[in-house]
Amino acid sequence: MLGPMPRLEARWSGAEADTSLVQPRSDLVLETEVAPGRFAQQEGPFSSYERTVQAGDAGEVVETTTYRLIIPWFGWVFALPTRRGLLRPPAHRPHGERQPWWAPPQRLDPRAAHVLGLLAAGQVIAGFCSTLFSQTVAFAADEFGASEGAQGVAGSIIRLGIVFSVVLLALTDRIGRRRILVGCAIAAPIGAAAGALAPSFAALTVIQTLARPLSLALALVITIVAAEEMPPGSRAYAVSLLGLAYALGAGTCVWVLPLADLGERGWRLVFAVGLVYLLVARSLVRGVPESRRYELPHAEHAPLPRRRFILLGASAFLYNILIAPTTFYENRYLKDVRGYSATLIAVYTLVTATPGAIGIVVGGRLADVRGRRLVGTIALLAVAVGNVIVFSATGSGLWLAKTITTILAAMAVPALGVYAAELFPTSRRGGANGGISALSIVGSIAGLLLAGALLDQGATYGTVMAILALGPLVYAALVVVAYPETARRSLDDINPEDRSVVKRS
């Protein structure tokens, strides 16, 4: 049940008040005057909103604002900054598209704000389910007696399940985004929890080969819907919030990782936690609409832009050559080389990964305001160099290097993650994202097999990561010389196939 609406009352003296008080606001909310001194929302993130301005005692002006944020699940995150923004003195209020630093660069309407909150909740599911195996594989391997090479092979096999993700994403172009989104939101937690019942390492591998693609498809279709729902000047911002939500989901996996210390079979409890996310899935079933861009007229059989597909597919391959091994082997490295327990690994991960939120938020705003390419290039250089240092450093230097790398590398999430949803027409957006994701998995498999082989031959982790870092470095060069700038451009402007259909309609 919803509580009472927040009610803000501010009393401004004659010196503080100015004529802007009796003019419609145009910052976080775009107002329209419905009566003298009374304003309602024309555009903004509120389900209900009213502001009144009246003369008070002793020459004061009384401004009263009642409102309710429409953001589900994460409205509490924005409650305090929204309150402060609405209470800012008249002389300090931004106007036009000048939004507060924490708000989207381009104002959201109620539908966009509501959908973004639901999509973020869905990304929490995807983050937990996608991270589950890599976080627990070292502990499951101990129970089943699987070697590092066997773990690398299992990780590669599981990634081959991407074929199911490709099929699901292709279906989004035919039957719509919503059906696949809500279906995966339900199936992913169930599939993840099934791993708790695995009788062998081979069985666990099979279960996760079927279950993990559901979470990958969920994450990708959520990004597609966000791109199709958000205004042009806030797409990277939306992807940054979704990245934070994904990280929160991955973080909850880390939070419960100490359950693995309860015994040799304790890792199974971590898998069982996935069932909790069915509660989140229920809200998506009830609240997520079909994306507005998909519902608009669009080219039904638009050709696939091959150059763009090859460019993004090659980039995904190069990126994951390094990222997959660093993610997959990090816990094993900390456990075997640095002697960390499951609890210390959890503390290390939380301490060094949490600051990544800074990079995601800053990267999202800069990518929308300054452009994707500059931010993406800086992030990729940090990915390449930083991970080599992380797998070579010791003591406090390890923690510091990981933290700095996390912050800078996180800027790639919004700056580069939005391209796959932007560079393809509506009828090809899902299928293209599935294909790019498949190529990223090929890169992951190549990186995991190469890293596993080198480690089994006695190479150090630092040496292995230095070799694999060539992938992100080449990716950075591609961003500089070949990527288009898409900031603040509408999807129809980027993809004229859809624009021409709308004009004919």
The reply to whether 258 and 320 lie within a common domain is yes
Q: What's the domain range around 25? A: 7-86
Q: Is the pLDDT of residue 118 over 60?
A: yes
What pLDDT score does 52 carry? 95
Determine the pLDDT at residue 258: 87
C-beta of residue 51 within 8 angstroms of C-beta of residue 65: yes
Q: How many domains does the chain have?
A: 2
Same domain, 117 and 82: no
Mapped onto helix, strand or coil, the DSSP state of residue 424 is coil
Give the per-residue pLDDT at 95. 64
403-459 residue pLDDT tens? 999 999 999 999 999 999 999 999 999 999 999 999 998 898 899 889 989 998 989
pLDDT over 50 at 268, yes or no: yes
Residues 213 and 125 in one domain: yes
Q: Which of 68-72, 218-222, 336-340, 466-470 has the lowest mean pLDDT?
A: 336-340
DSSP secondary structure string for all residues of 193-259: HHGGG-SSHHHHHHHHHHHHHHHHHHHHHHHHHHHHHS-GGGHHHHHHHHHHHHHHHHHHHHHTGGG
| Within a domain: 171 | yes
Burial 305-334 (b: 16+ CB within 10 A, else e): beebbebbbbbbbbbbbbbbbbbbbbbbbb
Give 336 or 475, the one with higher predicted confidence. 475
Quick one: pLDDT band at residue 66, thresholds 50, 70, 90? very high
| Inside any domain, residue 444 | yes
Residues 266 and 302 in one domain: yes
Lowest mean pLDDT among 8-17, 236-245, 247-256: 8-17
Rounded-to-integer distance, Cα 259 and Cα 274, Å: 14
Comparing C-alpha atoms, which of 218, 244, 248 is closest to residue 365?
244
Is residue 418 a part of any domain in this protein?
Answer: yes
30-35: strand order across its sheet: 7-12, 61-69, 46-55, 38-43, 30-35
**For the chain, what percent of residues have pLDDT higher than 70?**
96
Q: In this structure, are residues 58 and 69 in contact, taking their beta carbons and an 8 Å threshold?
A: no
103, part of any domain: no
Same domain for 114 and 56: no
Q: List the single range of 156-165, 389-398, 479-488, 493-502 with lowest mean pLDDT.
A: 493-502
Asked whether residue 73 falls in the same domain as residue 145, the answer is no
pLDDT at 502 over 60: no
Q: Is residue 228 part of a domain?
A: yes
pLDDT at 278: 96
Residues 190 and 302 in one domain: yes
Q: Name the pTM for this structure.
A: 0.87
Q: What mean pLDDT, rounded, does the chain reach?
A: 91
Residues 427 and 372 in one domain: yes
Per-residue pLDDT tens over the stretch 363-396: 999 999 999 999 999 999 999 999 999 999 888 8
419 CA to centre of own chain: 13
Pair (162, 119) in one structural domain: yes
Residues 121, 212, single domain; the answer is: yes
Residue 495, in any domain of the structure: no
pLDDT in tens, 206-248: 999 999 999 999 999 999 999 999 999 999 999 999 989 998 9
pLDDT, mean of residues 458-473: 94
The verdict on residue 180 lying in a domain is: yes
Q: Residue 19's pLDDT is what? A: 73
Per-residue tokens: 16: 């503080």
Has residue 91 been placed in a domain? no
Q: Write the DSSP symbol of residue 44.
A: S
Q: Which of 342, 359, 320, 331 is nearest to 448 (CA)?
A: 320
User: Among the three residues 54, 86, 118, which one is the final residue of a domain in this structure?
Assistant: 86
Q: Which amino acid is at 47?
A: S
Quote the pLDDT of residue 187: 97
Q: What is the CATH number of the domain that holds 272?
A: 1.20.1250.20
Closest CA to 244 of 357, 372, 345: 357
Confidence of residue 1 (pLDDT cuts 50, 70, 90): very low
Q: Residue 503 has what pLDDT? A: 58
pLDDT in tens, 295-317: 988 888 889 999 999 999 999 99
Residues 133 and 63 in one domain: no
Q: At what angle do helices 177-194 and 110-144 cross, to 10 degrees?
A: 30
My answer on whether 286 and 420 are in the same domain is yes
Closest CA to 280 of 69, 2, 47, 72: 72
